[in-house]
Structure formats: structure tokens, C-alpha cells
Amino acid sequence: MTVRFSYGRIAHVLLWGGLAVASLGMSIPKIYSGVTQYPLRPTGPLHTCDSYLKFATGASGASKDLISIFQSMTASKRIIIFTRKDDAFSSGLGMTTAYLASPHLVRLFEISGTHPDNELSKMNPDELAAVVFCRVNRPNWLPAGKVIGSGLEVVSTSEKKVRR
């Protein structure tokens, strides 16, 4: 087999070879840090939710706790979740809680500040299963609920009569 060299072919090889080397030089540090940045996490059916909740509240394995709290409530009633505007942690916590609250219908309230008194006072407690506070303060007039880690509190307003 003979290989014919020409200036065009040499320029072609040099161009693409140079681009390949430059690309690799640019990418490898980024890929390397991406590969080595995180250790292996524990596995489990809810491992993503658990990771999010641990990140936001510091509590481990909180997904199961939340699910069992929500399961103890009347499924036909809605769950109200309060989150703070301009607080990504609070918003993320609220959405993760909404995910876990199925099959309950949910309603997310994004409030300015940390006191949801106004919004809560307008609600009919008979229509609610629970109120969840995500990095939002529970009003003093509401009884204390189940606190998960720091910044997440679930106040049940309608628990099932019979509990296992």
C-alpha cells in the first residue's frame, strides 16, 4: 500500500491533529474534576430525594419519614407548602416535598419574608391535610408539627383516626 503525501494532506492532518490536541487539553481537566469530585453515594429507591433533603435540611433518610407522615393523613385533602421567594433551598425543598406528598393534591405558596400568617389565616383548616413550612417560620398560634432536620416542618391538621 502506498501513501501519497501532498501539502494539502499534511495541512489537513496538522489542522485536525492540532484541533484534537487543543480540545483534549481544554477538556481533560474539566472531565477529570467531574469524575473525581463526588464519592459513591448510598443507593436506595429514594436516593435522589434523600440527597436533596439531606442537602437542604441536614437530615438523613428523610424521604421515608415524610412519606409515612403524608400517608397517615386523609388522602382526599390538600397539602399546603410554604416556600420563600428568592430562596432556592426553600423552593427546592418545597418541590421535593410536593413530589413525596402524592397522592395528595398540593398547593405551593411562595411568600416574601418568613411569616405566612396572612395566607394561613385565609384558609379553611377542614380542607387541609397538612401545612408544610420550608425554611419558613410556623406561626405561633399553630401547634408544633414534625420537624425534619433544620428548616422543614410538617404540621398535620387531619390525621387518620386509625394508625398502624
Partner 1 sequence: MSALALLGAFGTLLGAGYGFLTLLARKETQLSLTEQIAFSWLLGTGAVSLLLWIFGLFVHGILLPGLVSIICLSLGLVGWRRMVPRPLRRKPNLFEIFLGIIVFLEIAIVFYLSFVHTLGWDGLLNWEIKAHYAFANGGVIPATYFSDSGRAFSHPEYPLAIPFTELWLYLWLGEADQFWAKTIFPIFYVIGTFLVVALGKRFTGKTWNGLLMAAFLFFVPQITVEVGSAIAGYADFPLSIFYLATIGCLFCATEPKNDAFFRLYAACLALLPWVKRDGLILWIVAAACGVFVILRTKRSSRHFLALFPGLLIICGWRLYLSAMHAPQAAADFLPMNLETFSSHLDRILPLFSALLAEFHNLPIWSLFWFVVAVGVAYLLGQMRNPGTPVLLNALFVPIVLYLLIYVFSSWPNYLEHVGLSISRLLLHVAPVGFLIILLAVSRRRVKSPAPVHERGVTCTMAVSERTPVVELA
Interface residues with partner 1 (CB under 8 A) are 12, 15-16, 19-20, 22-24, 26-28, 30-31, 34-35, 38-41, 43-49, 51-52, 78, 81, 92, 95-96, 98-99, 102-103, 105-108
Contacts of 81 (CB under 8 A, 6+ apart): 94, 97, 98, 101, 106, 107, 108, 109, 131, 132, 134
- Closer residue to partner 1, CB minimum distance, 35 or 144: 35
- Closer residue to partner 1, CB minimum distance, 69 or 81: 81
Contacts of 100 (CB under 8 A, 6+ apart): 49, 63, 66, 67, 70
- Closer residue to partner 1, CB minimum distance, 45 or 143: 45
- Closer residue to partner 1, CB minimum distance, 35 or 162: 35
**In this structure, are residues 48 and 144 in contact, taking their beta carbons and an 8 Å threshold?**
no
**In this structure, are residues 64 and 157 in contact, taking their beta carbons and an 8 Å threshold?**
no
Supply the minimum distance, in Å, between the C-beta of residue 47 and partner 1: 5
Contacts of 154 (CB under 8 A, 6+ apart): 66, 69, 130, 131, 132, 133, 145, 146, 148
- Closer residue to partner 1, CB minimum distance, 48 or 118: 48
Q: Look at residues 121, 124, 100 and name the one whose alpha carbon lies nearest to residue 111.
A: 121
Supply the minimum distance, in Å, between the C-beta of residue 87 and partner 1: 15
Supply the minimum distance, in Å, between the C-beta of residue 94 and partner 1: 9
Supply the minimum distance, in Å, between the C-beta of residue 61 and partner 1: 14
Supply the minimum distance, in Å, between the C-beta of residue 43 and partner 1: 4
